Structure 1
């Protein structure tokens, strides 16, 4: 079985750029499709330049994966902070009883 051999990096890049979380639990088929189209577009653009070697093409895909994972981590951190602030604001304040 050699079908798809060598496409591991492209498939991971397409999924991550499409919004699929590395940790699982989020993402959509449409997002993965958009990610695949974006990765293919970038790959085909780099192939047309004769000066760009295959090494640098793979390096660009690796950088895109790192950028997407970093952006996802930053976004999730900010959303968690916002959620914690909202929970603290919505928590009832305990008043002291007066005798």
Structure 2
């Protein structure tokens, strides 16, 4: 989601480091980090990471983060989703890039 042209990525949406944003957990921990753009948000995701991707098909997917992953060229990612969408958009782009 975008706020004043800054990308807001709760840490749990990245590499499952914590849960606690917006009361989704019983813990009181609330870790949030603000990034200038999507590429900055994904640049420290190491090769071989496991990512859980929300959305359904083409609705609600993190399309800007997927595009940033393609630009930063991480490899050997395991992506878990209920639907990879289509060949030329969203997770289909990651599948094509292998």
TM category (shorter chain) comes to: under 0.3
Provide the TM-score with structure 1 as the length reference: 0.23
Bigger radius of gyration: 1
Larger fraction in strand: 2
Provide the TM-score with structure 2 as the length reference: 0.23
Larger fraction in helix: 1
